[in-house]
């Protein structure tokens, strides 16, 4: 290490030094890189490759057949389940992201201000995000059970989970309940980082609560919001455990999601080719989401 | 760092050495599914222990893997990963798919003695429809041994029948009666909320929607959903369309809960008095008997133009690609489980599944049981009108297509003909590869 | 912390009750209550005698019967052990990998730094659990299907943790390192003796997040694990719940759910502040 402190004596030495540091750095990064390579980079490439093959029960004996883009063509032109899952994922993202953010901000501001029962309030907002999705699914399955479930006490005629026009909404309510508290946490820390002098100035200027929020709090929370958006958007595509318990994507695929469809194709139906193609679509979606955020917006959220 | 490394190595070592024990005993992991209440998993475990006590050289470890579909998923994944199990208790309808993978032993090859052959030929023929495959020469080879087998029966709440003035001992025998009774049995409170539906025939994908659809096609002169060689389906047959339309009709007239009532909650809906009649597997009979707080009866399924019901349930399968001794051990276990009439009878009594061998019904314990509880005979008697459960090549895929179509019809997303025509086209595209 | 106290005082000074605030407060309190309902209901159903489970308004003395019954029906102790091993194993490995990688990104200038940084970012966008199919093939190709090691391995590297570590190390004055170098410390010793103690908050923060993630992970272990003896809690719960889905056994499922969530929840209720601060810490970007 001491080499780094030796004063620079010419470009060559500097380059030699940088190479030494580079070796050291790569050495330190190697363990992480190995695991990233095996479980993140390679599988992406593998999925792309496998998506060009017909590889299902019919080809079990003969081995995979190269079919070019046929899997993608099927997905985008014929596969109704894919279309439904794609649409459902989009709806979940479009609804849960802003709602979770709005609720998260409200929760954070309230949890920061409130005097009575501060701890209890924070606990009750935040605990859902600590529960496993499968446990949440079990609890909410009973809440939604018609007639004698918890909501059955309000109206026994509600059949939220078996009605294709309400099932997604019912699941979204659950997802928001689970996620909003987690979002709140980031806003609590975001609020703490706002310089209190700003509020002081606003107070002297006679700004009311609404003005203070829109002119100071919300703009100052922008980095937090960007970060939270990435988390919640990717979450919208990753949270599928509940489907396994609650609906299996039904009725009529009205609650299916892309990742769960991958699971069904890959493991229930042993259709590796199609599952790979859906995985690739999913990866592209996630990459686009993050790249749009990352390259068009404020890079400080990662380069702190 | 050294310390951390040491901890890490210890950890890896501990994790790595968990297998590799027990030399003399042949250990077999056996996946099995449960799709009824009342805890048959505990019964299976107890049977495996009993077998081990009698045969110390063989130990079968039952692995409860979830539903039938989950079990299929697990076993096929294991085979594809090269960890083929010697034995599994799986869905009878997985037969074609497993066969097409070329992984199944046929029992005819394994049965070498007179005694073995007598055992093999001693099961109810109705159950063998989902256990054997036709050969080019017209004979059959057996690939699955029936164990937890069932038919669908109707359970009805006798108290509810009496309450609305129906004869508790005269369950509906035709579709028309089924509809009329269901309407009569539906009860609303003052505000117009339904307190009790007349009937529930579960139609969710997480359950067995395609199986319930069979109750409406097979009761029309035994029209089935597939050809007997598993390469053709009749999703858009006029009788299939008529059957599902009647099913949906029961919902439309308000006698059945809207949407896709769940397989898993149907029994408790019935036990809670929230539905007066239900179609469910006979495998739940003991569960219902133990938990019903009212008088209930069972009957064969109401006829459209004929009686009919699909069989259902699980087979024992033996898989190629494992050491011979494991196969023999597993074979011995299967014969032990399914060959003894007393044991088969007791299993039937404990669960409600149909005993798969006629002689089980001649055992003392079964005679006593059925005398005190005649409902235990409904499913067996229905075997006379029983047909194969829906089973085709690439089962997982084709079944999903049909289940989706059923959900779409029952929730009103699509008309019956629309949904089933589309399903037919999709299934044809898949099954083409197997013709 | 100081800043927050100060701010609160400021806000207190300017505090005025307006009708809007009253409504807002009432709503947020009410909302906190609504958030609690599922938990209360689950706990109630877990502890109430089975025959009253479906009667919402029934008051009955709590009982442990449901727990006794389900404890005997499935291998919960095995599930607990497996979950602990998975959580512990992943944390241990992540602490090693993120410390090394975090140090490199924070303190060293080297060729390829930006490229590697972006490569690490990929993992945040595309978590291993999205790539279930190829990763399952990899794991089973390595002969690690149905092993706890196979369940843990895809999570041994953590980009999130690395970035968190990098930020934390950057806040530590570089002079500390210079002093140590003059004393002739090796890099390893320096990290162990000087950085490690200062990184404890970071380990706690990342540890809590990673632990709760692993504790709750479901789809991946469901796919990898086949035998009962290696199931973690979540998989055990899901499979147990499916066999007991019928409503008469709601108390069983709720009791099982309670078993699964209790350790994390109880820890959280006790160390509520620590938890929230740690989670918040990870978000300061």
Nearest-Cα residue of chain C relative to residue A43? C134
Flag whether residue A213 sits within 8 Å of chain C, measured between CB atoms. no
In this complex, do C128 and A107 lie within 8 Å of one another by their Cβ atoms? Answer: no
The Cβ of residue A301 has, within 10 Å, a number of other Cβ atoms equal to 20
Instruction: Spell out which residues of chain C touch residue B66, defining contact as CB-CB under 8 Å.
Output: 238-239, 242-243
Q: Which of A257-266, B3-12, B279-288 has the lowest mean pLDDT?
A: B3-12
Q: Verify that B265 and B158 share a domain, yes or no.
A: yes
In a domain, B367, yes or no: yes
Which pLDDT tens digit goes with each residue over C84-100?
999 999 999 999 999 99
- The interface predicted TM-score of the complex, written ipTM, equals 0.86
Q: Verify that B252 and B400 share a domain, yes or no.
A: yes
Q: Verify that B45 and B111 share a domain, yes or no.
A: yes
Flag whether residue B83 sits within 8 Å of chain C, measured between CB atoms. yes
Q: Verify that B94 and B194 share a domain, yes or no.
A: no
In a domain, B18, yes or no: no
List b or e across C173-212, with b for residues whose CB sees 16 or more CB atoms inside 10 angstroms. Answer: eeeebeebbeeebebeebbbebbeeebeebbbbbbbbbbb
In this complex, do B4 and C96 lie within 8 Å of one another by their Cβ atoms? Answer: yes
Nearest-Cα residue of chain C relative to residue A34? C157
Q: Verify that B282 and B326 share a domain, yes or no.
A: no
In a domain, B20, yes or no: no
In a domain, B119, yes or no: yes
User: Does B21 score more than 50 pLDDT?
Assistant: no
Instruction: Spell out which residues of chain B touch residue C87, defining contact as CB-CB under 8 Å.
Output: none
Q: Verify that B91 and B133 share a domain, yes or no.
A: yes
Flag whether residue A155 sits within 8 Å of chain B, measured between CB atoms. yes
Flag whether residue C248 sits within 8 Å of chain B, measured between CB atoms. yes
Mean pLDDT of the C97-114 span: 93
Instruction: Spell out which residues of chain C touch residue A133, defining contact as CB-CB under 8 Å.
Output: 216, 218
In a domain, B199, yes or no: yes
In a domain, B217, yes or no: yes
In this complex, do B407 and A249 lie within 8 Å of one another by their Cβ atoms? Answer: no
Nearest to A148 among B101, B272, B434 (CB): B272
User: Does C11 score more than 60 pLDDT?
Assistant: no
Residue count of chain A, please give it: 304
Nearest-Cα residue of chain C relative to residue A51? C134
Burial of B138: CB neighbours in 10 Å, binned 0-12, 13-18, 19+:
exposed
Q: Verify that B406 and B297 share a domain, yes or no.
A: yes
Neighbours of A, requiring at least 3 CB pairs below 8 Å, are B, C
Instruction: Spell out which residues of chain A touch residue B394, defining contact as CB-CB under 8 Å.
Output: 56-58, 269
In this complex, do C246 and B264 lie within 8 Å of one another by their Cβ atoms? Answer: yes
Q: Choosing among A26, A111, A130, A216, which should be mutated to test the C contact, i.e. which has the most C CBs within 10 A?
A: A130
In a domain, B277, yes or no: yes
Which pLDDT tens digit goes with each residue over A45-91?
999 999 999 988 888 878 899 999 999 999 999 888 999 999 999 99
Neighbours of B, requiring at least 3 CB pairs below 8 Å, are A, C
d(CA A140, CA A151): 10
pLDDT at B8 (0 to 100): 56
Task: List chain A residues with pLDDT less than 50.
Answer: 1-6, 8, 301-304
> Angle at Cα A222 formed by Cα A291 and Cα C31, nearest 5°?
110
- Provide, rounded to the nearest whole percent, the portion of chain A with pLDDT above 70: 94
**Contact pairs from chain A to chain C, CB under 8 Å:** 307
Q: Is the dihedral of CA A223, A229, A230, A232 positive or negative?
A: positive
Q: Verify that B291 and B158 share a domain, yes or no.
A: yes
Closest Cα of chain C to A69: distance in Å?
19
Which pLDDT tens digit goes with each residue over C168-225?
898 888 887 777 777 777 778 877 888 888 898 889 889 988 998 999 999 999 999 9
Determine whether domain C70-283 maps to CATH 1.10.10.10.
no
In a domain, B125, yes or no: yes
| Residue B286 banded pLDDT, cuts 50, 70, 90 | confident
Kindly report the three-state secondary structure assignment for every residue of B82-133: CCCCCEEEEEHHHHHHHHHCCCECCHHHHCCCHHHHHHHCCCCHHHHCCCEE
Closest Cα of chain A to C116: distance in Å?
9
Q: What is the mean pLDDT of chain B?
A: 89
Residues 112-141 of chain C with CB under 8 A from chain B are 136, 140
pLDDT at C244 (0 to 100): 58
In this complex, do A134 and C234 lie within 8 Å of one another by their Cβ atoms? Answer: yes
User: Does C247 score more than 70 pLDDT?
Assistant: no
Q: Verify that B265 and B394 share a domain, yes or no.
A: yes
In this complex, do B274 and A249 lie within 8 Å of one another by their Cβ atoms? Answer: no
Nearest to A252 among B193, B265, B408 (CB): B408
The Cβ of residue B417 has, within 10 Å, a number of other Cβ atoms equal to 15
Mean pLDDT of the C232-251 span: 78
Domain of residue B226 covers 153-310+389-434
Q: Verify that B306 and B380 share a domain, yes or no.
A: no
Q: Identify any residues that bridge with B63 across adjacent strands, giving them in sequence order.
A: B31
CATH code of the domain in which B145 resides = 3.40.190.10
Q: Verify that B272 and B413 share a domain, yes or no.
A: yes
Helix, strand, coil percent values for chain C (each to nearest 5): 80, 0, 20
Q: Verify that B341 and B366 share a domain, yes or no.
A: yes
In this complex, do A238 and C264 lie within 8 Å of one another by their Cβ atoms? Answer: no
User: Does B2 score more than 60 pLDDT?
Assistant: no
pLDDT at C179 (0 to 100): 75
In chain A, which residues fall in CATH 1.10.3720.10? 70-301
Neighbours of C, requiring at least 3 CB pairs below 8 Å, are A, B
In this complex, do C92 and B18 lie within 8 Å of one another by their Cβ atoms? Answer: no
**Contact pairs from chain B to chain C, CB under 8 Å:** 87
> Angle at Cα A170 formed by Cα A80 and Cα A78, nearest 5°?
5
pLDDT at C9 (0 to 100): 47
Closest Cα of chain B to A198: distance in Å?
47
d(CA C74, CA B187): 39
Contact C207, C115 (CB under 8 A): no
Which pLDDT tens digit goes with each residue over B140-169?
899 999 999 999 999 999 999 999 999 999
Flag whether residue B191 sits within 8 Å of chain C, measured between CB atoms. no
Flag whether residue B368 sits within 8 Å of chain C, measured between CB atoms. no
Q: Choosing among B33, B37, B48, B61, which should be mutated to test the C contact, i.e. which has the most C CBs within 10 A?
A: B37
Q: What is the pTM of this model?
A: 0.87
Which pLDDT tens digit goes with each residue over A236-277?
999 999 998 888 888 888 999 999 999 999 988 889 999 999
Matching CATH number, A70-301, of 3.40.1080.10, 1.10.287.990, 1.10.3720.10, 1.10.760.10: 1.10.3720.10
Which pLDDT tens digit goes with each residue over B399-435?
999 999 999 999 999 999 999 999 999 999 999 988 8
Phi and psi at residue C108, in whole multiples of 5°?
-110, 145
Closest Cα of chain C to B138: distance in Å?
39
Instruction: Spell out which residues of chain A touch residue B257, defining contact as CB-CB under 8 Å.
Output: 146, 159, 162
């Amino acid at each position: 290490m001491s080499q780094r402190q030796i004063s620079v004596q010419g470009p060559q030495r500097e380059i030699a030094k940088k190479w030494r540091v580079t070796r050291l750095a790569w050495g330190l990064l190697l363990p992480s890189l190995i695991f990233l390579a095996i479980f993140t980079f390679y599988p992406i490439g593998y999925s792309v490759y496998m998506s060009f093959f017909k590889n299902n029960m019919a080809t079990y004996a003969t081995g995979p057949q190269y079919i070019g883009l046929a899997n993608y063509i099927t997905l985008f032109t014929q596969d109704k389940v894919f279309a439904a899952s794609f649409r459902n994922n989009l709806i979940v993202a479009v609804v849960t992201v802003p709602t979770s953010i709005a609720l998260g901000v409200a929760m954070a501001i309230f949890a920061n201000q409130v005097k009575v029962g501060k701890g209890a309030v924070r606990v009750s907002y935040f605990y859902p995000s600590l529960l496993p999705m499968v446990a949440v699914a079990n609890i909410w399955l009973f809440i939604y059970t018609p007639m004698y479930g918890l909501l059955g006490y309000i109206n026994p005629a509600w059949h939220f989970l078996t009605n294709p026009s309400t099932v997604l909404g019912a699941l979204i309510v659950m997802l928001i309940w689970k996620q909003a508290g987690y979002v709140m946490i980031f806003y609590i820390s975001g609020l703490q980082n706002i310089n209190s002098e700003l509020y002081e100035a606003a107070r002297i200027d006679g700004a009311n609560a609404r003005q203070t929020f829109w002119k100071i709090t919300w703009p100052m929370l922008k980095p937090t919001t960007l970060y939270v958006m990435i988390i919640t958007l990717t979450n919208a595509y990753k949270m599928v455990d509940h489907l396994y318990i609650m609906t299996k994507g039904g009725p009529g695929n009205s609650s299916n999601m892309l990742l769960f469809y991958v699971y069904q194709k890959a493991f229930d139906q042993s259709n590796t080719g199609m599952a790979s193609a859906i995985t690739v679509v999913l990866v592209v979606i996630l990459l686009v989401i993050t790249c749009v955020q990352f390259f068009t917006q404020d890079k400080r959220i990662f380069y702190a | 760092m050294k310390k951390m490394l040491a901890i890490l190595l210890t950890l890896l070592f501990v994790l790595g050495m968990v297998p590799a024990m027990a030399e003399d005993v042949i250990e077999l992991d056996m996946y099995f599914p449960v799709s009824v209440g009342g805890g048959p998993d505990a019964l299976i475990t107890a049977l495996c222990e009993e077998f081990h006590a009698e045969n110390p050289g063989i130990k079968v470890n039952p692995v409860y893997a979830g539903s039938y579909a989950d079990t299929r998923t697990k076993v096929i994944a294991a085979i594809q990963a090269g960890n083929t199990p010697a034995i599994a208790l799986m869905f009878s309808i997985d037969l074609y798919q497993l066969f097409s993978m070329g992984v199944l032993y046929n029992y005819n090859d394994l049965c070498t003695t007179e005694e073995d052959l007598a055992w093999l030929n001693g099961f109810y023929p109705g159950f063998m429809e989902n256990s054997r495959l036709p050969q080019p020469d017209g004979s059959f080879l057996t690939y699955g041994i029936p164990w937890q087998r069932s038919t669908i029966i109707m359970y009805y709440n006798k108290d509810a029948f009496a309450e609305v003035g129906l004869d508790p001992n005269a369950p509906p025998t035709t579709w028309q009666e089924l509809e009329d009774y269901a309407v009569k049995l539906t009860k609303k409170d003052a505000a117009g909320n339904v307190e009790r539906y007349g009937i529930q025939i579960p139609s969710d994908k997480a359950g067995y929607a395609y199986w319930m659809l069979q109750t409406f096609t097979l009761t029309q002169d035994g029209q089935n959903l597939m050809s007997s060689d598993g390469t053709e389906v009749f999703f858009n047959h006029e009788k299939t369309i008529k059957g599902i339309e009647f099913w949906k009709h029961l919902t439309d007239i308000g006698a059945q809960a809207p949407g896709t009532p769940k397989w898993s909650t149907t029994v408790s809906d019935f036990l809670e008095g929230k539905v007066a009649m239900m179609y469910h597997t006979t495998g739940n009979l003991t569960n219902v008997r133990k938990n019903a707080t009212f008088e209930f009866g069972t009957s064969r399924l109401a006829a459209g133009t004929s009686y009919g019901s699909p069989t259902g349930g699980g087979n024992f399968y033996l898989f190629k690609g494992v050491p011979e001794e494991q196969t023999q051990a597993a074979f011995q276990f299967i014969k032990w489980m399914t060959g003894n009439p007393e044991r088969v009878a007791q299993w039937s009594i404990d669960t409600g599944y149909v005993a798969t061998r006629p002689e089980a019904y001649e055992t003392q314990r079964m005679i006593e049981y059925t005398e005190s509880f005649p409902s235990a005979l409904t499913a067996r008697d229905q075997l006379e009108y029983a047909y194969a459960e829906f089973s085709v090549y690439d089962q997982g895929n084709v079944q999903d297509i049909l289940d989706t179509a059923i959900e779409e019809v029952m929730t009103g997303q699509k008309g019956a003909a629309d949904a089933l025509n589309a399903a037919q086209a999709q299934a044809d595209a898949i099954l083409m590869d197997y013709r | 912390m100081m800043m927050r106290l100060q701010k609160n005082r400021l806000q207190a000074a300017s505090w005025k009750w307006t009708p809007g605030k009253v409504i807002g407060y009432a709503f947020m309190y009410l909302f906190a209550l609504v958030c609690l309902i599922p938990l209360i209901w689950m706990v109630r159903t877990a502890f109430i005698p089975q025959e009253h489970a479906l009667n919402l308004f029934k008051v009955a003395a709590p009982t442990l019967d449901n727990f006794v019954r389900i404890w005997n029906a499935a291998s919960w102790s095995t599930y607990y052990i497996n979950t602990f091993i998975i959580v512990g194993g992943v944390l241990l490995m992540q602490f090693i990998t993120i410390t090394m990688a975090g140090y490199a990104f924070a303190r060293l200038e080297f060729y390829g730094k930006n490229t590697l940084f972006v490569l690490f970012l990929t993992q945040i966008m595309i978590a291993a659990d999205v790539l279930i199919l190829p990763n399952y093939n990899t794991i089973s190709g390595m002969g690690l299907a149905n092993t706890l090691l196979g369940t843990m391995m895809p999570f041994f590297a953590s980009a999130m943790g690395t970035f968190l570590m990098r930020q934390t190390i950057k806040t530590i004055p570089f002079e500390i390192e210079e002093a140590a170098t003059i004393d002739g410390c090796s890099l390893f010793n320096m990290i162990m003796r000087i950085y490690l103690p200062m990184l404890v908050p970071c380990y706690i923060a990342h540890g809590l997040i990673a632990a709760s993630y692993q504790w709750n992970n479901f789809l991946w272990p469901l796919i990898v694990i086949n035998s009962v003896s290696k199931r973690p809690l979540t998989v055990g719960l899901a499979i147990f719940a499916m066999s007991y889905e019928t409503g008469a056994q709601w108390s069983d499922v709720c009791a099982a759910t309670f078993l699964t969530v209790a350790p994390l929840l109880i820890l959280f209720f006790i160390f509520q502040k620590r938890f929230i601060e740690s989670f918040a810490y990870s978000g300061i970007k």
